[in-house]
Structure 1
């Protein structure tokens, strides 16, 4: 126990240290710049970059309308002239991107960019910056710049230094004489420095993230575990254990009060065993490790395979059984001992004996709990499961006479078992989908996933109405018609299968949107819902929201942001999301790679270092970092017209249900504040 605590403390400290280092650098990519004298008349400006694991930097000269390429900008050139284009040194990776429809080139781990200049004067002075874009699998950094400024002496026989014309100088001259309204407002500097709308709200966002919906999610997990426990009670291997339990307690106690006390102890022992199982899962994974399981491809593949095995077991192909000597050994010790130890061992015997029926249900529940992102989820889920499982055993131990009125086990239990096999098989595909998206295999795109679910629930419907039989049904002798409740549930399952069929052509299928792969994985899609921002200026959008009396959704995005396009294709196309964005919110999309020049460059300080905001994209990038403490895109924030947050932020996650909850949370909080 102590070692696991030390392990978690060390891991947490290490992650905090890494976060501090990344924040200090301002980016997962760190460049150092130097000047190299190539000859008497040539110099190189060299940018050496180290790229964090999982990130990549795009190469120069990527076609237009793609991600941010590495680009050299020369602001001042006296006595020097750029020779050729920016060159890259490193292992270049080429990959075709379906979102942008082009061949992308990028670098991982490290890269060196070199720009050569020819010295044309006796002295020289050159100033500028390297701009680059960096992305990982979940987001992109805003365009980031590395500034340089060098002076030196050229050949003695060279003419006096003269300023060479540059594109940046021409753009600055154009901006200086541009008519009012064609460039960003002239008072941008004062807005950045003093405006209340730019006031940092990092702590307020953290409060929403920490408070959030934790209590609701844990309550949901508790109920989910309880329902799983009720299903486990109905399994065929559970009911024969009830008479054994009653007999055990009747032999031990002649005193009714003591019998009730022992029965309660027995129920509590069952709960303790299962809750300890939940804690064991957490301790094995570690607190931080548990939170990362939801996107871990290897973990999801293992869960997929386990659930398929459980499903096949429920279909009757084979039985999952623990070694009989384990059960016999525990049972013998329970009979030989007395007091609380014997009751606890009897509860442990129940867990072992019921393993063949409860393991598939527990496996499915623990898979869901472990990927919920909440460290307490496995323990809370097992608490709900064990309460439901322990309840009938405790009541029958208290009141043995009830056993006579209990329904007898029979074919209905086998029907339930096979039906749960279909459900487990369907849910296993969810975990395979996560791994498929992580590795980019494209073996389980949205239409493939829906086709498999349609087949599974169609077969489940046929089974429940009696048109499909398994070997276990034949062994039990099932010539008689299926009972009315089974037929009704079978019709529901068939209807559900029919409901999903339009999804093969792009229908949103709201009921399965949280399980199916994102819409952008679908090749054939007739759904053309599109959301367009009403404003691309923060100040203008806030003013409009105040006038209309609506909350604000800020979308920090980029023209070259791959994951931004994925969110727009997979989440914003859902009719429910589109309705909220178009009607309930004032949507402001701020492009951090917008190259439109500011009317006047703005000097700001970031992490103790001065930074020059030259473009509209620079301004929105600085807004995101200074006000919200974030850098990557996509990044969504709900605000009131006063610039204060209304809910937790949302980043890249192709989950329509969660995105709807995020939007509804902000809307509810806005309305609550309006009513106060």
Structure 2
């Protein structure tokens, strides 16, 4: 089980790899000390922010990742004299990894002696991989150059070549009426998105209540508070406090994601569109689903629960109640863990602020989990109306297992779309979903069973009702697969209609004539004298598909898009490599250089540089001579979008 925890910890740390910026919690300086004509000492000094630490090269195996130096061309033009030495370190025992870990606090100094084999060498290049950690660990990969001039190293100023400068300049637009860009409209935006995610988390918490890890604990815990308090009011207060701490604990679990989110404004897009992360999500959700099917059980180390339980007994009072809530979270992990994983996955798929979304979802989950403890403490007579624990809770877990598999397929689909592999086309995706819901229906009607099912018994009315619902879902998806239904209820989850097994005339949404290159689209707009709808989208963007399938498909909106505008759709997550002649380095005003090697990197940079935005969908109306016609909009409703298109069209005709 320890290895599962380590994997999950490293996985979330891995997310931060894709969002590094210049605000590193450690500042490095370099020095070269000349010993003689051939021998030098390279010194790398780091000033570490308070509260952060860096792991040593020699920290114990089985713990956090050690620091690692790679000396480029070592053994060719120079040789290393001994190992890289370190300044003073701190050693502490890690409860998570169960090993002693060695790390630096405050400062870190690394020293390496070298001997030149080629007297003409005047610079040593190294690569340094390390983890800078606080509540979470951020892996960093940095290059350093030491100039052998006998004194302090002169750091080479990074610059870009003339071709890259020209291509970078071409990426920046000379926009007119840029003031309109400051007022971005997202009518179904952050506020409603947060409530939606909160509701999703609340629903997940209600489902978790019905599992065998949580449900039996409700009467036991409530009875404990009401019977072990001298005053009834005191027992009620303690139970309410217990519920509050449950909410607090699940909220606190979301805080590390605020660190991730602050690292890079595009981290949500990076997570949602990175091929290997999506495959990792897919494998994790498959792993979760089979635990719900009863083939194995996910548990946190029992020592954690024992320590928390012992702490609650010894300390007592408010702090003791807090440790009781922590004990519940640990003991119930085998059931709540996969549900929280599903919440995490759904949050990643939801457009917006990933950290705020996750906090809202975790809070909703905690509220639902805490609610019965508070209500039954206030009204203890209600405990008699609770149904008895039994096989129905196992059925709940199996249903969740099938839902986890369905969600897992979405992440595999994202990887397939972004990678443009053509493996999981729309029809194949829908066919697998049909099979999953048919299997769920057969299970609910008792046709087959799983290892942890109890003795075969008469089917309850509730199980039959859910079985009929599952059958209805499978029929609904099957009708969509056959082209009878448009599957609007599932918009955003299956691949887009143009990503099909059958040959389609257009690879644009709804068959609308579109351009996937900005300059080509602008040239065509000038030719036909029409305004431009600039559509920043993504293959793995759920809300983009919802807009296309639910809003763009409205007959009057479709007509405007198809006849009155030139649609330019730029996919910011397209991993297709640019031709060698179009690859370049883009240098930001801060001096940071970004390598533009794929179509998505080009259009993602294009969006952030010109429109100061990183989210999708992001729609801009402009004239062919680059004048902004109206404020941009994001995910919104049909009526708002229709009026926005009409307003932009009227402005264009006035001009």
Counterpart of 1:648 (choices 615, 633, 637) is 633
Q: CA deviation at 1:516?
A: 1.4
Query: Which whole-Å CA distance do the structure 2 matches of 1:290 and 1:320 have between them?
Result: 28
Kindly report which structure 2 residues correspond to 1:387-536, keeping only aligned pairs within 5 A, or say none: 387-473=367-453, 476-480=454-458, 482-504=459-481, 508-524=486-502, 530-532=511-513
Could you say which residue in structure 2 is the equivalent of 1:554? 533
DSSP 3-state at the match of 2:205: helix
Distance 1:520 1:629, change over 3 A: same
CA–CA separation in structure 1 for the residues paired with 2:621 and 2:376: 53
Tell me the residue number matched to 2:195: 219
Using the TM superposition, give the Cα deviation of residue 406 of structure 1 relative to its aligned residue in structure 2, in angstroms.
1.5
C-alpha displacement of 1:297: 2.1
CA distance in 2, matches of 1:563, 1:341: 47
Residue number in structure 1 paired with 2:346: 368
Structure 1 pair 634–405 and aligned structure 2 pair: CA distance change class (3 A): closer
Answering whether residue 309 of structure 2 is matched by residue 324 of structure 1, we say: no
Find the aligned partners of 2:324 and 2:334 in 1 and give their Cα distance: 17
Match of 1:229 in 2: 205
| Contact map agreement 2:253 2:362 (CA 8 A) in 1 | yes
Equivalences for 1:263-412 in 2 at 5 Å? 263-283=239-259, 286-288=262-264, 289-372=267-350, 373-374=352-353, 375-412=355-392
CA contact (8 A) 1:295 1:438 kept: yes
CA contact (8 A) 2:534 2:620 kept: yes
Which whole-Å CA distance do the structure 2 matches of 1:531 and 1:142 have between them?
31
Pair 570,405 (structure 1): closer, same or farther in 2 beyond 3 Å = closer
Distance in structure 2 (CA, Å) of the matches to 1:261 and 1:575: 48
CA contact (8 A) 1:132 1:144 kept: no
**Structure 1 residue 398: Cα displacement:** 3.5
Residue-pair matches, total = 441
- Secondary structure (helix, strand or coil) at the match of 2:214 reads coil
Q: Give the TM-score, by structure 2 length.
A: 0.57
Deviation at 1:407, TM superposition (A): 1.4
Relative to structure 1, is the Cα distance of residues 329 and 530 closer, same or farther in structure 2, using a 3 angstrom cutoff?
closer
- Distance, in Å, in 2 between the alignment partners of 1:635 and 1:370 is 18
- Structure-2 change in CA distance of 1:519 and 1:143 (3 Å): farther
Q: What residue number does 1:667 align with? A: 642
Distance 2:170 2:337 in 1: 50
The structural deviation recorded for 1:509 is 2.9
For 2:550 and 2:204, the matched residues in 1 are separated by 32
Alpha-carbon displacement from aligned partner over 1:159-211 (angstroms, at most 9, x marks no partner): xxxxxxxxxxxxxxxxxxxxxxxxxxxxxxxxx99xxxx8414x433321688
Would the alpha carbon gap of residues 512 and 294 (structure 1) be closer, same or farther in structure 2, given more than 3 Å must change?
same
> Of 632, 637, 643, which residue of structure 1 is paired with 2:620?
637
The aligned residue for residue 237 of structure 2 is: 261
Alpha-carbon deviations, 1:570-610, whole Å to 9, x = none? Answer: 89985862424433556321789xxxxxxxxxxxxxx9xxx
- Secondary structure class of the residue paired with 2:424: coil
CA distance in 2, matches of 1:575, 1:291: 22
How far apart are the structure 2 equivalents of 1:282 and 1:423? Answer: 28
Q: What's the offset of the Cα at 1:443?
A: 2.9
Following superposition of structure 1 onto structure 2, how do residues 166-181 of structure 1 map, counting pairs within 5 Å?
A: none
Distance in 2 (alpha carbons) for counterparts of 1:448 and 1:224: 27
Match of residue 205, structure 1, among 181, 189, 195: 181
Q: What CA distance in whole angstroms lies between the structure 2 residues aligned with 1:465 and 1:515?
A: 27
TM superposition shift of 1:348 = 0.8
State the Cα distance separating 1:313 from its structure 2 match: 0.9
CA gap 1:275/1:506 in 2 versus in 1, 3 angstroms = same
CA contact (8 A) 1:520 1:570 kept: no
Q: State TM-score, norm by structure 1.
A: 0.56
By how many angstroms is 1:414 displaced? Answer: 1.4
Alignment deviations for residues 1-45 of structure 1 (CA, whole Å, 9 cap, x no partner) = xxx9xx99x956679xxxxxxxxxxxxxxxxxxxxxxxxxxxxxx
Establish whether residue 246 from structure 1 lines up as the match of residue 222 from structure 2: yes
CA distance in 2, matches of 1:563, 1:270: 37
| SS of equivalent to 2:565 | strand
In structure 2, how many angstroms separate the alpha carbons of the residues matched to 1:348 and 1:588? 56
**Per the alignment, in what secondary structure is the counterpart of residue 413 of structure 2?**
helix
Mapped contact 2:534–2:621 kept (Cα < 8 A) = no
Unaligned runs of 5+ in 1: 16-129, 135-140, 146-191, 543-551, 593-606, 608-620, 650-657
Residues 209/539 of structure 1: CA separation in 2 closer, same or farther (3 Å cut): farther
Q: CA RMSD in A?
A: 4.8
Distance 1:410 1:556 in 2: 52
* Residue-by-residue CA offset, 1:468-527 (whole Å, 9 max, x unaligned): 322333xx22231x2233323322322322332355466753333311123343221579
* Residues 507-656 of structure 1: pairs in structure 2 closer than 5 A: 508-524=486-502, 530-532=511-513, 537=525, 554-555=533-534, 577-578=552-553, 579-583=555-559, 587-589=564-566, 629=611, 636-638=619-621, 644-645=629-630, 647-648=632-633
Counterparts of 1:636 and 1:142 in 2: how far apart (Å)? 23
SS at match of 2:467: helix
CA contact (8 A) 2:488 2:550 kept: no
SS, match of residue 552 in structure 2:
helix
**Does the 8 Å CA contact 1:212/1:648 hold for their aligned counterparts?**
no
How far did residue 274 of structure 1 move?
Answer: 0.4
Whose Rg is larger?
Answer: 1
Rounded Cα–Cα distance in structure 1 between residues aligned with 2:546 and 2:316 = 60
Higher mean C-alpha deviation, range 223-232 or range 276-285: 276-285
Residues 399 and 556 (structure 1 numbering): CA distance in 2 closer, same or farther, change over 3 Å? closer
Query: Could you say if the C-alpha distance between residues 287 and 224 of structure 1 is closer, same or farther in structure 2, counting changes exceeding 3 Å?
Result: farther
1:447, distance to aligned residue in structure 2 (A): 2.2
| Other structure's SS at 1:554 match | strand
Cα distance in 2, alignment partners of residues 556 and 576 from structure 1:
14
- Partners of 2:538 and 2:463 lie apart in 1 by 44
Deviation at 1:323, TM superposition (A): 2.5
Q: Tell me, yes or no, if the aligned pair for 1:322 and 1:355 is still in contact at 8 Å.
A: yes
Tell me by how many angstroms 1:455 deviates: 0.5
> Residue 489 of structure 1 aligns to a residue in which SS?
helix
Deviations 1:41-87 (A, max 9, x none): xxxxxxxxxxxxxxxxxxxxxxxxxxxxxxxxxxxxxxxxxxxxxxx
Q: CA contact under 8 A between 1:315 and 1:421: conserved in structure 2? A: yes
